Amino acid sequence: MAFTRIIHWLGVSFLFCAIINALAILFGLALGEYELVRTFVFMTLILALAGGVLFVSTFNAAIRESVGDALIFLLLFWLLTPIVLGVPFYMSGVASSLPQAYFEAVSALTTTGASTLVPENIPRTFLIWRSLLQACGGIVVSTFAVVILAALNLSGTGVHRSKLFTLKRGELFPRLIAIGKVITAIYAAISFICFAGLLLTGAGLIDAICLSLSAISTGGLTPQSGGMSSYISRIGAALLAFTCIFGAANIAVLWDFIRMSSALHVKRFFTNVEHRGMFVMIAGLLLCGVFYAGITNFFVVIVEAIYIVTTTGFDYEVIGIDMVPRGLLISLALIGGSAISTAGGIKIIRLLLLMRHAMTDIDRMSHPSRVKLVKFRGHILPDREFLSIWMYFFGYILIFGGGIMALGAAGLEFSVAVSACAAALSNFGPLLQATFPDTSYAAMGKLQLCVLSIIMLIGRVEVLAALAVFSPSLWKR
């Protein structure tokens, strides 16, 4: 096991966190919130020093690493970075306890969008900073999916495979930077267009910054409480909806779409199997929403349907998609978006593959002697390649059930525990308020917040990757 390589890239991660804190210093100075600047200066120096020491001391380490090394780094990154990014919440007094501070950092970095804080009571620097955490978290999520998770499932159906990534043995970590730059450029361009559009439609500067970053990361954190209709126009809401779709779209297909090297790439964006699945779910939820909320609320229902399906969860008006039965909203949240995107959930492609395999098995039962092959995207897939997806589905259900039990043991009522666990596991924090408007994360105790933090992390690192930590073979040299 290449421990020195893992330590080296943890040093890079701390330097990455130092850069995020340094950006908060600029926001604090620009907004005149100088007390907060001290906190971020302190954290920037600490993280830069710690990251620099780890980076320099292991600089001459062997450049090769295994897929197992990458998995361990993935797990350590998601465990440690929220700790250091949660410190400013606690030091500044924004969070009253360490579990609350850790919960806020985990929620932002995993693009979950759950919060115990009232936006009106948060300094403007923190409003922008936690939105920036969401955007950075979205970049990290997509980068890890393209590089590390793609390398982990090369032996299976390869739901994370992408033209953006070509595996070179022993050179996983260096690809993180190269792929990260591409993904950063894509998301930055889309969020800037959204930001400019919001300003032109009358949104305030802080609102435009926070919402554009939150939309591209499908995070869901908002700069003001309540529905957005009081400070965002309908054109702005539609613009946010399109941005959420781009955030939940497959980043590799999106890259080809943005380059527009040919009309074929534009067509592929709309005909991609995951994107078609997402559009079908939006259409289905729209019909249900119109049925329950009425045709007079058509615009609100369609934009909120997009917010729900992309696991963003913005609330535009009081009467909207939240009129739909809770069970349907929870089911859609658990499905999620594209495999290589900022959205959470099981992922559309896994569900489509499982349905295709299940239908093939049912057909075989009616004709036992018939040779029936599973075809997907024009390729024939052997049955053995579905093993990892069925195991993922089983692991997801196992974690979901275990999370509900843990939240129930921590004191949550059963139906609320189901919704809260689904929100955390699918990285769709606003789902709790959409299904139980009278319940909030602010009313939860420290133990409940800790349990939700763990579930959010498990949902973001992908269930099987999280369960692999309990495998002794992973830690063998």
| 174-183 per-position pLDDT tens digit | 778 888 888 8
Check if the beta carbon of residue 89 is closer than 8 Å to that of residue 196.
no
Which stretch of DSSP H or E encloses residue 379?
Answer: strand 379-381
* Mean pLDDT along residues 259-281: 79
Number of CB atoms found within 10 A of residue 394's CB? 12
Element (H, E) at 335: helix 326-335
Kindly report, residue by residue over 277-335, the tens digit of the pLDDT.
Answer: 899 999 999 999 899 888 888 999 999 999 999 999 899 988 888 888 988 999 988 88
The owner of tokens 């897939």 is: 381
Question: How far is residue 353's CA from residue 339's CA, in Å, rounded to a whole number?
Answer: 12
Please report, as a single letter, which amino acid is at residue 467: L
Q: How confident is the model at residue 73 (pLDDT cuts 50, 70, 90)?
A: confident
pLDDT at 59: 73
Phi, psi of 376 (to 5 degrees): -150, 125
DSSP state for residue 95 in the 8-state scheme: S
> Of 296, 348, 346, 338, whose CA–CA distance to 317 is shortest?
296
Report the candidate in 390, 391, 425 with the shortest Cα–Cα distance to residue 406: 425
- Statement: residue 155 has pLDDT above 60: no
pTM: 0.90
pLDDT at 57 (0 to 100): 83
pLDDT at 168 over 70: no
What are 181-224's pLDDT values in tens digits?
A: 888 999 999 999 999 999 999 999 999 999 999 999 999 899 99
- More confident position, 268 or 157: 268
Which amino acid makes up residue 341?
A: S
Neighbours of 192 (CB within 10 A): 12
Can you list the alpha helix ranges (DSSP code H) found in 58-118? 67-91, 98-109
Q: Taking the chain, what is the end-to-end CA distance rounded to the nearest angstrom?
A: 5
* Residue 7 backbone phi and psi in degrees, to 5: -65, -40
- Return all residues near 20 (Cβ < 8 A) that are at least 6 apart: 85, 129, 132, 133, 136
Which of 404, 432, 437, 433 is CA-nearest to residue 418? Answer: 404
The residues, ordered by sequence, that sit 6+ positions from 309 with a Cβ below 8 Å of its Cβ are: 248, 278, 281, 282, 285, 332, 337
Q: Residue range 379-407: average pLDDT?
A: 81
Separation of alpha carbons 275 and 278, rounded Å: 5
Tell me which DSSP letter residue 149 carries: I
Q: Report the distance separating Cα 373 and Cα 361, nearest Å.
A: 10
Pair 34, 28: CB distance under 8 Å: yes
CB burial class (10 A; 0-12, 13-18, 19+) of residue 228?
buried
Q: What are phi and psi of 337, to 5 degrees?
A: -110, -145
Whole-number Å distance between alpha carbons of 71 and 80: 14
Over residues 105-136, the pLDDT tens digits come to 999 999 999 999 999 999 999 999 999 999 99
pLDDT of residue 152: 65
